[in-house]
Amino acid sequence: MTSKKPTVVGLFAGVGGIELGFKKAGFEIQLGNEIDPYASATYRMNNGHQLVEGDIASLRSDQLPHDFTVLSGGFPCQPFSVAGYRQGFEDERGNVFWEIDRLIRETKPEVVFLENVKNLRTHDGGNTFRVIREALELQGYTVFDEVLNAKHFGNIPQNRERIFIVAFRSSKAATNFKWPKPVKLTNPLEKFIDFESKLEEKYYYGPERPFFDLLKKEITHKGTIYQWRRQYVRANKSGDCPTLTANMGMGGHNVPLVLTRHGIRKLTPKECFALMGFDRIKFPAGMAESRLYKQAGNAVVVPVITAIAKRIRIALESS
């Protein structure tokens, strides 16, 4: 491979977490594709390269840069999630994989990089994952997959397990690929969450909440993240943040709560993005915070992506 910077096209780009991770590993991001207009607005605020907004089914290969290196995508995880309906490829959202397959066939990138929920491996008795792996192998790729936890591979105190798929067209590059090694978690929650400052009142839970008495009784330790789970309060006793979800800004289930110097409050969107490894991010003016919480929950943990991308680059440079 030449010394030219390897390039990335990102599908299902969200707010650009995968692209940011690859950029930090020395890749050049050429183009992203995202269907959600609100995530697209956040993406554009934080990225200078081209974003094609719209359905992947309408994305033509001649819209993509010529001869790019990596095709990446955190494709929709709902069909394969334990929290979803377990419909897999029977769910229309599952069919987007065949659009990825189409673009791979038409552009033949050196590397395919995919991210999904851990449950993808076991969905439908393993058949869903087998179909994905075989589809990539039929196109001539050597396929690697691994489940990595953000707190073990990103030095981010969030218990977030995701499956990563790395597929190489070059057998020599595949021979030289190794997954990143675990790193010690040294970053405390206090680095990401402000337990001391007084924030806007809208983030705090007070006596006007019908379940406030229960929150006050159960949320007693500063430095612990709690979740309101519709009927009860759950303390995350491991000392890190539980998996942030796309519905955490909608009220009710899975809302992350903390006890601060100024009372009980939910995490802010900025704190949620910090716990996804975004060291800085700008938000579009006037965007509803529920949409920002959704975008954070749907994002990837950036340092984990960077760690894998560095290993991909080493493998490519050896081929």
Scan for tokens 């790193």, then name that residue. 183
Catalytic residues: 77
Residue range 246-278, pLDDT digits in tens: 888 666 567 799 999 999 999 999 999 999 999
Q: Residue 95 has what pLDDT?
A: 78
Residues of the chain above pLDDT 90, percent: 79
- Beta-strand ranges (E) seen in 248-313 are 255-260, 263-266
Please, what is the Cα angle at 105 between 93 and 103, to 5 degrees? Answer: 45
* 185, two tokens: 């978690």
Q: Residue 108 has what pLDDT?
A: 97
Residue 3: band (very low, low, confident or very high) from pLDDT cuts 50, 70, 90: low
Comparing 251 with 50, the larger pLDDT belongs to 50
pLDDT surpasses 50 at 2: no
* 268, two tokens: 């802010």
Residue range 197-216, pLDDT digits in tens: 999 999 999 999 888 999 99
> Comparing C-alpha atoms, which of 226, 219, 161, 150 is closest to residue 187?
150
pLDDT surpasses 80 at 56: yes
Scan for tokens 């903390």, then name that residue. 258
7-185+297-317: CATH architecture: 3-Layer(aba) Sandwich (3.40)
Residue range 124-165, pLDDT digits in tens: 888 889 989 999 999 999 999 999 999 999 999 999 999 999
Helix, strand, coil distribution of the chain in percent, nearest 5: 35, 20, 45
Q: Residue 281 has what pLDDT?
A: 97
pLDDT surpasses 70 at 177: yes
Residue range 279-292, pLDDT digits in tens: 999 999 999 999 99
DSSP letters, 161-223, are EEEEEEEES-HHHHHT--PPPP------GGGTS-SSS---GGGB--TTSTTHHHHHHH---TT
Residue 156: how many CA atoms within 13 Å on its side-chain side? 29
Q: Contact, 74 vs 32, CB < 8 A?
A: no
Q: Residue 232 has what pLDDT?
A: 86
pTM for the model stands at: 0.93
State the Cα–Cα distance between residues 85 and 78, nearest whole angstrom: 8
- Beta-strand ranges (E) seen in 54-168 are 70-73, 111-117, 142-149, 161-168
State the Cα–Cα distance between residues 161 and 140, nearest whole angstrom: 28
The domain ranges of the chain are 7-185+297-317, 194-266
Using alpha carbons, list the distances in angstroms from residue 286 to 108, 291, 309.
40, 11, 34
Give the rounded distance of the alpha carbon of 313 from its chain centre: 20
N- to C-terminal Cα separation, the chain: 6
pLDDT surpasses 60 at 85: no
Mean pLDDT for the stretch of residues 42-58 = 97
Report CA Rg, the chain.
Answer: 20
Residues 6+ away with beta carbon under 8 Å from 249 = 255, 269, 289, 290, 291, 292, 293, 294, 297
Q: Residue 251 has what pLDDT?
A: 60
> Comparing C-alpha atoms, which of 130, 65, 66, 136 is closest to residue 100?
136
* 59, two tokens: 């994305």
